[in-house]
Every structure is written in structure tokens, then in C-alpha cells.
Amino acid sequence: MDSYLGLAQSKVKPRSLVDGFSNRTATIKKRPPRPTGYPTTASRPISTSSIVIDSAAQFRYLQEEHLALLERYKKLEESYTALQGEYAKVKSDNERLQGAYEELQESYNSVTAKNFNAGKLLVYLKLKRRTDKETLEKRNIIKNEACFNTYLQDVVMLEQHPRIPRVVHECIAVLEANDKFMRSPGLYRVSGDHNAIQNLRYDINANNYKRLRKQKSPHEVCGILKLFLRELKDPLISLETCAKYLPDVIQMKTNTRLKIKQLIGSLDEVRQNTLKVLMKHLRSVAAIEENEVDSFSLGLLFSSLIFNETLADVCPVKFQKLTAVPRECIIAMMEDYDAIFE
């Protein structure tokens, strides 16, 4: 307190005497406003012991919260039970599908392509419109088989010399390795079992010759060889090529060997090798009397296979003209094998 004024001064000292009287309130540090309900000096002071806690209301609140949690727990428990049931169902379905998958896998590994039926597949798919075969082949939907009903250059060849179709080598090897087969009556003339030949066809297309080598009858083996030659899309010798060198039977009576050698020389290496191996085999077959097959019958049979003639819708005179030259050509190849091929 200042002695000459007799007044209480602020801690903030004014800059001048005038400021001390004129702006005295500005120099006083203001207190913060009191909160509402704050007890005044006139009222009774409040102590901590005067605060009352409503325990009944708090208990009711906790009780409501407990009931809400119980309801939530029941809902979660019901959801968990439902999920457990769905899980058990899914697990059962999974085990069933797994068993079916393993069964299908075993069936797929055990069966061959013979069980595939394109007709049944088309019926299953309920295809109302059928596209022609040529269009499907152009779209690469229908592909040529690996061995049958295809072109000669696409057939699997023998790895060793000479370079010929493997199916021809295998069939000849099976027949010539069994003397009983070679002496079987009606060899190449008796038809084999159709189902057995079709099964062999599927195996050979898959490059599997185990079943062919285990055949107990020669007629199915002969049927496979004939089927292969018959279904070639490009025959070993075409009729057009034959007509260039041997236009008719009369021309065959002069210089027959020379003309046939010229005909064979015009072919590619695979066809030449195949004809050489095939004629050598047929000559061996014709030389055995027990099989009751001669060179004429073999020439008539194999002329339609090697030259792949179209024998349908022809008159008898044209038929005789078409088959005479190929037949005599095959007979000459067998009988004069050494002079023509060696």
C-alpha cells in the first residue's frame, strides 16, 4: 500500500499518476466468473458429504443393461447354432462331392476314349441345329483321329527304319510272329469282331498297342490293317496316278514291270516304303496253302484298299474297268516283288 495516497494499488504498476486514477479498473486482474449454483457467502457452504447417490436408479440402469446383454447373448447363441447346422450340412456335402470326385477320377483313369459317345453328348446338350461336318472341321471342333480317318502324313510313323505308319508295322509283326495266325483259313477274307476292332481302334489312336499284341484271333488284327487303309483320306495310290502309267488292262500286257516301277517311283518315300513292306507280307500270306488265300483273292481285296476306289453307284461294266487295273497291279507287285521293289 502506497503511504501518500492511502489506497491499495494493483500489482501492475501504472505508468503515471493520472493512469492510476483514471484507469484503475483496467489494472486490476479480473477473477473468472463463478459457475451457476455456486454457493454465495450468504448461503450455507456445500461439503462433499452433502452429495447424495441414487443407488436404486443406478441398480435399475445396471439391471436393464444386463437384460439387454442377455438378449444379445441369446441371439448370438441362436446364430451360432444355425451356423453350426449349416457348417455340418456343408461339410456333409463336401464329403459327398469329394467321394464323387474320387470315383470320377478313378473312372477317368480306367476308361479309354471308347466310352465317349458324341451322339449322346449332342442329345445331352439338346442341340437343335446341327452344323455340317466340314464347318466343324474348319473351326477345329472336330479333329482328325491320330491314326484312322486321317491323312497319311498325319499318322504316327515308325521311329525306326523304314519310315512307315506304325499301325502297319505292328499288325504285320503280330501276324507274322504267330505261325498259327498265318495258317488261319480265310486270312484277310474273314471279318473280325466289330466291337473288338473298334476297341483296338481307340487304343491305337491313343498310340497304345498292348491289346493288339495280345489278340488271340488274327481276324481282328487283319481288320485293323484293312480299316486303316480303307479310311485313309489320301490313298496309297490314287486312281488318277495309276491312270497316267496304266490307263487300261491292255497297256499292262506290255512292259508291266517297268510301268509299275514307274508308278511306284512317282510316289513319295512313305508310300513307297509302305507298299514294299505290305507287298512282302502279302506275298508271304499267299505262299501258305493252309490259309486258303491266293494272290488273286488278295489282289482283289487289297486293290480296293490301296487304291481306295469308290465302288458305289457304278454300273457293272464300269466296275470291272475300275477294278481290273488295280487288281492286276497288286497281283504283279506280289508275284514280281523282287524285280519291282529290290
Judge contact between 142 and 184, C-beta under 8 A.
no
When pLDDT is cut at 50, 70 and 90, the band that residue 16 belongs to is low
Judge contact between 195 and 154, C-beta under 8 A.
no
Highest mean pLDDT pick, 20-24, 29-33, 111-115, 229-233: 229-233
List the alpha helices (DSSP H) in the chain. Answer: 17-22, 55-110, 118-125, 133-138, 166-176, 179-182, 194-205, 210-213, 218-230, 239-245, 249-252, 256-265, 269-286, 295-306, 316-335, 337-341
When pLDDT is cut at 50, 70 and 90, the band that residue 127 belongs to is very low
Phi, psi angle pair for 180, to nearest 5°: -65, -40
Res. 28: pLDDT tops 60: no
Residue 161, H or E segment: none
What DSSP state is assigned to residue 127?
-
pLDDT given for residue 1 in this prediction: 46
pLDDT given for residue 313 in this prediction: 44
Residue closest to 285 by CA, chosen among 140, 176, 205, 173? 176
Collapsing DSSP states into helix, strand and coil, what is residue 336? coil
Instruction: Find the angle CA(237)-CA(242)-CA(246) to the nearest 5 degrees.
Output: 150
Helices (H) and strands (E) in the chain, counts: 16, 0
DSSP codes of every residue in 11-76: SS--SSHHHHHHTTGGGSPPPPPPPTT---SSSPPP-GGG----HHHHHHHHHHHHHHHHHHHHHH
- CA gap 257, 247 in Å, rounded: 15
Residue 117, H or E segment: none
pLDDT given for residue 2 in this prediction: 47
User: Per-residue pLDDT tens for 149-165?
Assistant: 889 988 989 888 889 99
- CA gap 251, 246 in Å, rounded: 6
pLDDT given for residue 170 in this prediction: 95
User: Per-residue pLDDT tens for 36-71?
Assistant: 555 554 555 545 445 566 788 888 888 889 899 999
Res. 315: pLDDT tops 80: no
Phi, psi angle pair for 49, to nearest 5°: -75, -10
User: Per-residue pLDDT tens for 259-288?
Assistant: 899 999 999 999 999 999 999 999 999 999
Rounded (10°) CA dihedral 138, 143, 149, 151:
70
